[in-house]
C-alpha cells in the first residue's frame, strides 16, 4: 500500500516562500503521476499542480502559475512544491496525491493521498 506523507507547511508572511515535501513509500513512486491539491476552510478542494512520472510534463492552476513550482526526485521518492510570492488566499491545507495514471484535475480520481500539511499566509 502506498503511503504519502507531507511536510513543510507553516506560517509565513505574504510575499514569502515555503517548500512542501511529500515522501512516498510502499509503491513504485517513479511510475506515478504526482499532484498537489489544496483545500481552504469552507471551500472545495482544488487542483494546484501536477508532474508526470518522468518530470517531462508539469501542469499548474492559473492561480499559482508563475509562483509555484512542482518537482520530484524519484531517487528519494519525494515530490516537492516550491511556493513563492505567497498570498493570503494561498492559505489552505495542502495535500499530495498520486496515481499510476494521469487523472487530471479530478482529485477524487487519484488513488493515493497524504494527510495534508497546513499553510497559513498572513497579510
CA dihedral 94, 1, 55, 59 (to 10 degrees): -40
Q: Are strands 10-13 and 117-122 parallel, antiparallel or unpaired?
A: parallel
> Given pLDDT bands bounded at 50, 70 and 90, which one contains residue 76?
very high
Output the pLDDT for position 27.
85
Q: Rounded mean pLDDT of the chain?
A: 96
Each residue's pLDDT tens digit, 87-122: 999 999 999 999 999 898 888 889 999 999 999 999
pLDDT tens-digit readout, 18-38:
999 999 998 899 999 999 999
- Please state, in angstroms and rounded to a whole number, the distance separating the CA atoms of residues 69 and 123: 22
- The dihedral built from the CA positions of residue 7, 117, 87 and 90, taken in this order, carries a sign that is positive
Mean pLDDT of 35-43: 96
Distance CA 111, CA 47 (A): 15
pLDDT of 74 > 90? The answer is yes
43 pLDDT higher than 90 = yes
pLDDT digit string, tens, across residues 85-96: 999 999 999 999
CA pair distance 80, 49, nearest whole angstrom = 10
- Mean of the pLDDT values across residues 77-84? 98
Q: Which of 97, 90, 94, 98 is nearest to 116 (CA)?
A: 94
Helix (H, G, I), strand (E, B) or coil at 90: helix
Please tell me whether residue 2 adopts helix, strand or coil conformation: coil
Question: Quick one: average pLDDT of 54-63?
Answer: 96
Residue 1 is predicted with a pLDDT of: 82
Amino acid at each position: 500500500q502506498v503511503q504519502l506523507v507531507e511536510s513543510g507547511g507553516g506560517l509565513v508572511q505574504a510575499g514569502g516562500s515555503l517548500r512542501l515535501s511529500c515522501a512516498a513509500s510502499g509503491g513504485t513512486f517513479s511510475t506515478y503521476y504526482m499532484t498537489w491539491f489544496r483545500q481552504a476552510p469552507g471551500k472545495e478542494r482544488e487542483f494546484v499542480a501536477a508532474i508526470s512520472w518522468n518530470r517531462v510534463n508539469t501542469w499548474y492552476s492559473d492561480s499559482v502559475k508563475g509562483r509555484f513550482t512542482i518537482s520530484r526526485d524519484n531517487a528519494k521518492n519525494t515530490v516537492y512544491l516550491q511556493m513563492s510570492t505567497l498570498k493570503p488566499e494561498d492559505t489552505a491545507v495542502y495535500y499530495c496525491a498520486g496515481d499510476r495514471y494521469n487523472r487530471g484535475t479530478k482529485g477524487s480520481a487519484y488513488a493515493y493521498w497524504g494527510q495534508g500539511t497546513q499553510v497559513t499566509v498572513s497579510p
